Amino acid sequence: MHSLQQQSGLARQSTQGVQRLPSSRCSSTAIVKQLHHHICQQHMLALPATRPCIAPRLQQQQQQHGRRRAAAVTRAGPPEQHACNGSKKKLAVFVSGGGSNFKAIHAACLKGQINAEVVAVVSDVPSCGGVAYAAQHGIPTLTYPASKKGLFPGLTPQELVQQLKHELGADYVLLAGYLKLIPVELVSAYKRAMLNIHPGLLPSFGGKGLYGERVHAAVIKSGARFSGPTVHFVDEEYDTGPILAQRCVSVSPTDSPKQLAARVLEQEHQVYPYAVSALVDGRITWREDGIPIIWEAS
């Protein structure tokens, strides 16, 4: 604590740097302000900072922006799962060969692992193993397209959509080793509701002419160290739709296409039912850039 004499001395020192104003233009308030400013400079006292005033309209806009951002974060969360309530979704499966992935999906449906039932099988080869399996299990079969050589009749694209969408009521379409390009009419009718499985890690080793052991031979020839199946949504081209799920297997330097195919096929039979189950349950959400994401079942 300073004595009264010391305080008076400090005050006299502090006022030495204050410029005196003519009495006609000076007021006691002005002198006090100058004195206060001078003392603060000498003793390095920090004046309290004041927060800049935000215009009411700008403040309201900022609050609205914050609420919109919060809503966007909420929408980005996991999607609501479809209530099962005993009803099953209906699947149409397309095959061109033995239909091992079709059989895996059908088995998963029978076990209750997929909340759906297969209501139709479509094929471009009426004599293939997948069609025979469907007939054994009482599943209706359709032929698309018709044979170019006139060996058997087939549906037109419009008839195919009519049969699947409106008469059989198929909710989703699954391609399981189907080698023909899907007509645009069906792609449009089942936007984000049609899946395909490919025996390679897309976007590599895909496209027209790359299927079955051709894919595995291309993988081995490339020197790739890994391969595996890809489940993706179907668009108007071969193997270019958004990727939904993949599995990875190692490629051995001594692998033959058949050996690699056998290991990849094991993963196909696991990842395809997994992806179909997510699709049927409504556990797929879409990023803003068009990438589908699977949310695990709670």
Predicted confidence at residue 150, as pLDDT, reads 85
pLDDT tens, residue by residue, 131-150: 999 999 999 999 999 998 88
Predicted confidence at residue 153, as pLDDT, reads 94
What percent of the chain is predicted at pLDDT more than 90? 68
pLDDT tens, residue by residue, 106-118: 999 999 999 999 9
Considering the candidates 198, 216, 232, 269, report the single residue annotated as catalytic: 198
Domain boundaries defined on the chain: 88-190, 199-230+245-298
Catalytic site includes residue 36: no
pLDDT tens, residue by residue, 23-63: 444 444 444 445 444 444 444 433 334 333 334 444 454 45
Indicate the pLDDT class of residue 11, thresholds 50, 70 and 90: very low
Find the mean pLDDT for residues 167-180.
Answer: 97
Homologous superfamily assigned to 199-230+245-298: Formyl transferase, N-terminal domain (3.40.50.170)
Indicate the pLDDT class of residue 77, thresholds 50, 70 and 90: low
Nearest to 93 by CA among 114, 79, 75: 114
Taking 90 as the threshold, does the pLDDT of residue 197 lie above it? yes
Examine domains 88-190 and 199-230+245-298 and report if their fold is the same.
Answer: yes
- Give the predicted TM-score (pTM) of the model: 0.73
Supply the CATH classification number for the domain 88-190. 3.40.50.170
User: Which of 53-62, 157-166, 252-261 is predicted with the least confidence, judged by mean pLDDT?
Assistant: 53-62
- The answer to whether the beta carbons of residues 291 and 284 sit under 8 Å apart is no
Find the mean pLDDT for residues 276-295.
Answer: 97
> Please, what is the average pLDDT of the chain?
82
Taking 60 as the threshold, does the pLDDT of residue 80 lie above it? no
Indicate the pLDDT class of residue 122, thresholds 50, 70 and 90: very high
CA dist 221 and 17 (Å) reads 89
Find the mean pLDDT for residues 238-262.
Answer: 97
CB atoms within 10 A of CB 183: 18
Find the mean pLDDT for residues 2-29.
Answer: 44
